[in-house]
């Protein structure tokens, strides 16, 4: 297994072991398998993105308590990560949650935002990392344990840093309550001239501007009433760099289905095409990609 697919495997295993995800996964797996078919087809797997909201709602609880909102946010992030990685198998793009043992150290440094000497990374939910087309990443890895592989991927990320593409994906269940947050963070990550306010992005001399490409996306369920064309929630996110998506079919003037994120943000990670790569991967779903737990 190469470093890219090893990282994908670690990301999926981490996601499915989160307690709140483990609690809903048995039911979600049934829903997912019914949608993608047996055997699954490329089109049905991609179209799974139009159904993610409905899958989430099969296990949602009523009420808006702090604990239920937090749990919904965690499992929504997990569902998005699972879907994106499933569609991206055999490509050079991997989606990982922002946790230390999964994110290469130079990428963590790149996403660090400081106000003075105060560090803030908390808004990063998922990171889509597109690796360079270098044999060190795509070839079979000689390392056999996680510690060695993490060290190697950190070193190689530093060496080929300017050839990486990175996407920050913020996942929220409620659009109306959260739309302003991605708008402001996208501005911070792409703006120049914050130095006078003592705001800086990046550390240890790793920064977004040195990457081949950086994008910021917002993915919502959404819960509550759906925003309408021209409404303020729609306007707030309509121009963010990586796009605005939800777990439903695309609605003109409002929001795109999450399945539309691939061509906009991750096109450089494909080996042939998204569909061709996915077709190859689906043929290996029972073996190389059995960790997606769809048996």
Where in the chain are the domains?
Answer: 3-292
Under the banding of pLDDT at 50, 70 and 90, the label for residue 276 is very high
Confidence (pLDDT) at 121 = 59
Under the banding of pLDDT at 50, 70 and 90, the label for residue 224 is confident
Torsion sign over Cα 31, 37, 43, 45: positive
Averaged pLDDT, 82-109 = 96
Averaged pLDDT, 252-269 = 94
CA pair distance 282, 291, nearest whole angstrom: 13
Averaged pLDDT, 157-175 = 94
Averaged pLDDT, 226-235 = 88
Confidence (pLDDT) at 239 = 87
User: Which distant-in-sequence residues (6+ apart) come within 8 Å of 203 by Cβ?
Assistant: 109, 112, 114
Contact in structure between 137 and 186 (CB atoms under 8 Å)? no
**Which one has a higher pLDDT value, 145 or 42?**
42
Averaged pLDDT, 117-130 = 78
The CA-based dihedral angle spanning residues 243, 246, 252, 253, taken in that order and rounded to the nearest 10 degrees: -60
Asked if the model's pLDDT at residue 61 lies above 70, the reply is no
Under the banding of pLDDT at 50, 70 and 90, the label for residue 167 is very high
Confidence (pLDDT) at 280 = 96
Asked if the model's pLDDT at residue 63 lies above 70, the reply is no
The pLDDT mean for the chain works out to 90
Averaged pLDDT, 277-295 = 95
pLDDT tens, position by position, 188-217: 787 755 554 677 788 899 989 999 999 999
Confidence (pLDDT) at 145 = 85
Asked if the model's pLDDT at residue 285 lies above 90, the reply is yes
Chain-centroid distance of CA 51 in Å reads 17
């Amino acid at each position: 297994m190469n470093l890219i697919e090893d990282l994908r495997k670690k990301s999926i295993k981490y996601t499915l072991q989160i307690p709140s995800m483990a609690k809903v996964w048995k039911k979600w797996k049934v829903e997912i398998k019914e949608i993608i078919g047996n055997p699954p087809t490329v089109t049905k797997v991609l179209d799974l993105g139009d159904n993610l909201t409905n899958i989430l709602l099969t296990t949602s609880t009523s009420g808006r308590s702090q604990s239920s909102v937090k749990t919904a946010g965690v499992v929504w992030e997990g569902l998005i990560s699972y879907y994106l990685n499933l569609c991206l198998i055999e490509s050079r793009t991997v989606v990982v949650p922002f946790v230390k043992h999964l994110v290469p150290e130079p990428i963590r440094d790149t996403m660090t935002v400081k106000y003075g000497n105060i560090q803030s990374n908390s808004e990063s939910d998922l990171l889509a990392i597109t690796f360079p087309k270098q044999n060190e990443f795509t070839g079979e890895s000689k390392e056999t344990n996680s510690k060695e592989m993490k060290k190697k991927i950190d070193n190689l990320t530093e060496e080929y840093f300017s050839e990486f593409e990175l996407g920050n994906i913020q996942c929220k269940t409620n659009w109306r309550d959260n739309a302003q947050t991605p708008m402001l963070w996208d501005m911070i990550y792409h703006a120049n001239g914050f130095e006078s306010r003592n705001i800086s992005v990046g550390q240890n001399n790793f920064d977004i501007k040195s990457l081949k490409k950086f994008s910021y996306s917002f993915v919502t369920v959404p819960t509550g009433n759906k925003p309408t064309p021209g409404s303020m929630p729609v306007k707030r996110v309509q121009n963010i760099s990586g796009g605005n998506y939800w777990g439903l079919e695309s609605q003109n003037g409002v929001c795109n289905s999450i399945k539309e994120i691939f061509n906009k943000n991750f096109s450089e990670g494909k080996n042939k095409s998204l569909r061709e790569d996915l077709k190859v991967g689906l043929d290996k779903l029972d073996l190389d990609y059995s960790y997606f737990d769809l048996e």
